[in-house]
Chain A
Amino acid sequence: MKEYLFDAVVIGGGAAGMAAALEIRAAGRRAAIVEREERLGGILAQCIHSGFGLIEFDEELTGPEFAERFEERVGPSGIEAFCGCTVLEIESEGESKVVACVSRREGVMRLRAGAVVLAMGCRERNRGNVRIPGSRPAGVYTAGLAQRLVNVEGYVPGKEVAIIGSGDIGLIMARRMSWIGCKVHAVVEILPYPSGLARNIVQCLRDFGIPLYLSHLTTGIYGRDRVEGIEVAPIENGALAAEKAFRIPCDTVLLSVGLVPENELSRAAGVSINPMTNGPWVDSYLMTSVPGIFACGNVLHVHDLVDYAVEEARRAGRFAAAWLSGARPARELRIKAGPNVRYVAPSRLEPGRENKLYLRSMIVKNDAVLEVKADGKVLRSAKKSHVQPSEMLVLSLGASELEPYAGEPDATVEISIR
């Protein structure tokens, strides 16, 4: 069994993993990426639509193009990339971490490092997770699996399509399936508002005349061998109006019902998980409850845009490199999700510097106010023309605002939306 020594090992070679590794390398550290697929890029490889990179590169790229920009930097950087390589476990051995992984080419390897950055991304919730009853025919796919089949493998999973859930991948696939000559009969969303970005509702549904059923529950999937249809019913005043149920005939069901950070490895390594994000709890260094293990990108919390995931990953990479050199947060304040806020990541901040925070609203509202309080005093009150759960909010808190609280024991920063 081979053993290698690095300063940091990044688990996951998607956009976040590459961005984190590049920062670690830029700080003069030896870095490795472990990627289970045969090449770097992660899920971007199958996202052949454009809309990536508007923040990062100030231009509109496809997923593979976005990934390529990072792969081109990783190539000559001296970062060791182990592709086709699956991590089996992360162990702490004294001060160092050992990442055991396996690939067809090299067998089992042990990568020893001072720090580990988790960047495994997320997985799609499936039919069982949202408990859609009915029979179990062929033709039920998560939207991401359908996207892989169409865009990379070159197969059409079905011709007459119903999409359950209005997440972004589902919306993108509604348009993609229409382009390849399939008929998309409906997008069914249980909530009273869409889960995906507003631009995708316009470009992927309205432009193709695809009906969107909001406040509708899918009460069954039917068909013996292959899907024959779904049954949906409206939700009125919070209750299912079962008598108004109707059927939508189709041979294929795509599910776009949310994403879950993939933290089984993290859990097994002893990392504590925040039930609101399903990602690790992290401090102001984006470090998890296990010293030396950092997290970024969709494994930390699900982001709307790869640009944000990459921005966060760069910070994680810099913090990991600094931590390896002995840097520690001078003092931290706890961050609390206040009224109408689902979560804030990270959950701690360091008062002496600029802190970037990502958060999600629990409500849909026009002319909302984003309020930051420390010890009951309002630090900042920012107007937002529109907030909704599907659009992540970004907030920077500067050193000057936080300075007065740096010396106070147990000071808490509360962020709320009104």
Chain B
Amino acid sequence: MGCRSGGSESTYDVAIIGAGVCGANIARRLSSYKLDVVLVDKEADVSFGVSKANSGIVHGGFHHNARYLKARLEIRGALMFDRLKAELGFPFVRCGIVVAALHEDEMRAVEQLYAQGVENGAIGIEMCSAERLLELEPKLSRDTLGGLYAPGGGIVEPYRFVFSLVESARKNGLELLTGWRLSAARREGGGEEGAWRLEAEDGRVLRARYVVNCAGLGADEVSRAFGAEDFRIEGRKGQYYLLDKLTRARPRRVVFPVPTSVSKGMLVVPTVEGTVLIGPSAEPIVDREDRSTTREELETIIRSARNMVPDVSEADVITSFAGIRPTLGEDYYIDVSAKVPALVQVAGVQSPGLTASPAIGEYVKDLLKKAGLVLVEKPDWDPYLEPTRPARELSPFELDALWSEDSAYGDIVCRCERVSEAEIVAAIRRGHTTLDGIKYFTRAQMGRCQGGFCTYKIIKILMRETGMSWDEVTKHGGGSTLLRGEL
């Protein structure tokens, strides 16, 4: 262990390709052992791919049959969130899930879900009459016939979850390389001494004895670069609308319709931060980078959400977005490669991937051990992160106390989400140096004005803190520059 030679061409014990929710959980799990681990991602920040845009649900353990790996990982993963939250402090609430049936046929489908949930060991799951369901969720339509309640389900801010996992892993020695896109992989040496030589598009090279491929939508290309299994990831697009905190349509629990054969349907989600998310659609797409939204699908989402929660209104929409889910057949493909040595494949992790991800971290750790990686616990592993205190959650008295330690808490940069300069600076110092990265970390630009008032202020703070020039400031890295000239 720790046989890194130093310099630019160092050898790690493990390289993880893809800093989404799977990569982050694997990295954090491995950070508790005496290992040199590197986490690489092609984007400018972590969680900028599949993990950025999804429903943010910890599922209730009743949607999938336990014969699938994904269902087993979902059930195990869901149980791990309370402890992770206590350690890392990301936004997570077990608010419960309701499935609402609007006609008799749907009630029969709900009964199947219930039976499946009981078989899977979903804690506290129950069948509900209309009266019971409306008591649990008064925002539901009066046409509701009944449904299912899964108290274990919850809501989580997916990017904040990933950020905190990566931060915790880095605190325990993980190295993170962003803007690192794999161009070639080659096995060097044999047996115990063998290692993968990984080259990035920009010429950076690293070596690792073991590699984990959790590249999300790009997992098939990464697998091919290693000469490993040949498979094809299909993208499935999901569009969403986000509603203002002041909407009357905010339910207390996650509201699901009765699922169809292709998807779990369009949900109404009360996000941890107070907004309401409606969606997603489920569309097969050709271009895996196509995150555009369309009028037709967005209209369908509004209609579908309003069926269940009649208070949903176009007037409350603050933004729309789309995420892409990587699909590969019916189940996840998580296994040691049968074609090449020392490669673990984590592919096709679509829904309920976020819920399953802590269990995937555990599962991949075991696969690596089976493949020969020696795991020795670090006696000084620190699972805890310093809790952060966002200004918006504080009373005036508490804010004053923070201000007396750091006067930048007195400067409110984002008025809609009440984010202080101190929090923006903290995000930048943690490595979030794009406008979107700062947005996901702090919520500045995420409220009802969507950055209309604070964008220029954040640009100035970013330039001051990093020394970037105006033409280096981007929305999400790459060519997404914000400014095109100086007067």
Contact B318 A108 (CB under 8 A): no
Contacting A155 at CB < 8 Å: which of B396, B410, B453, B485? B485
How distant is the Cα of A219 from the Cα of B297 in the complex, in angstroms?
Answer: 13
**Contacts A129-B317, A144-B452, A148-B456; is A159 near B397 (CB within 8 Å)?**
no
Contact B415 A145 (CB under 8 A): no
How distant is the Cα of A180 from the Cα of B484 in the complex, in angstroms?
Answer: 12
Contact B411 A108 (CB under 8 A): no
Contacting A102 at CB < 8 Å: which of B294, B410, B459? B410
Contact A225 B478 (CB under 8 A): yes
Contact A156 B242 (CB under 8 A): no
What string of 1s and 0s marks CB contacts (under 8 Å) between A118-143 and chain B? Answer: 00000110111101011111110110
Closest to A155 in B: B483
How distant is the Cα of A250 from the Cα of B134 in the complex, in angstroms?
Answer: 50
Complex interface: stretch among A81-89, A193-201, A326-334, A358-366:
A81-89
Decide yes or no whether B480 CB sits under 8 A from chain A. yes
A150 cross-chain contacts in B, Cβ below 8 A: 487
How distant is the Cα of A222 from the Cα of B449 in the complex, in angstroms?
Answer: 21
Decide yes or no whether B400 CB sits under 8 A from chain A. yes
B242 cross-chain contacts in A, Cβ below 8 A: 128
Contact B396 A88 (CB under 8 A): yes
Contacting A133 at CB < 8 Å: which of B293, B455, B482? B293
Decide yes or no whether B403 CB sits under 8 A from chain A. yes
Decide yes or no whether A290 CB sits under 8 A from chain B. no
Contacting B450 at CB < 8 Å: which of A105, A107, A128, A133? A128
How distant is the Cα of A102 from the Cα of B418 in the complex, in angstroms?
Answer: 11
Contact B291 A127 (CB under 8 A): no
Question: For window 211-232 of chain A, which residues contact chain B by CB distance below 8 Å?
Answer: 219-220, 222, 224-226
A102 cross-chain contacts in B, Cβ below 8 A: 396, 399-400, 403, 409-410, 412
Contacting A219 at CB < 8 Å: which of B290, B295, B416, B474? B295
**Contacts A104-B408, A107-B404, A153-B460; is A138 near B475 (CB within 8 Å)?**
yes
Q: Give chain B nearest CB distance to A152 CB in angstroms.
A: 8
A-B contact number at CB 8 A = 146
How distant is the Cα of A264 from the Cα of B455 in the complex, in angstroms?
Answer: 20
Total residues of chain A contacting the partner, CB 8 A: 54
A154 cross-chain contacts in B, Cβ below 8 A: 486-487
Contact B480 A128 (CB under 8 A): no
Decide yes or no whether B451 CB sits under 8 A from chain A. yes
How distant is the Cα of A144 from the Cα of B397 in the complex, in angstroms?
Answer: 34
Contact A226 B480 (CB under 8 A): yes
Interface positions of A (Cβ within 8 A of B): 1, 36, 84, 86, 88-89, 100, 102-108, 110, 123-124, 126-129, 131, 133-139, 141-142, 144-145, 148-150, 153-159, 180, 219-220, 222, 224-226, 251-252, 264, 267
Interface positions of B (Cβ within 8 A of A): 242, 246, 289-295, 298, 314, 317-321, 396-397, 399-400, 403-404, 407-412, 415-416, 418, 421, 435, 448-453, 455-456, 459-460, 470, 474-476, 478-487
22 sample A-B contacts, Cβ–Cβ < 8 Å, listed by A number: A1-B400, A36-B415, A86-B418, A89-B396, A105-B410, A108-B403, A124-B452, A126-B449, A126-B450, A126-B452, A127-B450, A128-B242, A133-B320, A134-B292, A136-B291, A137-B475, A138-B475, A145-B456, A156-B485, A156-B487, A159-B485, A225-B479
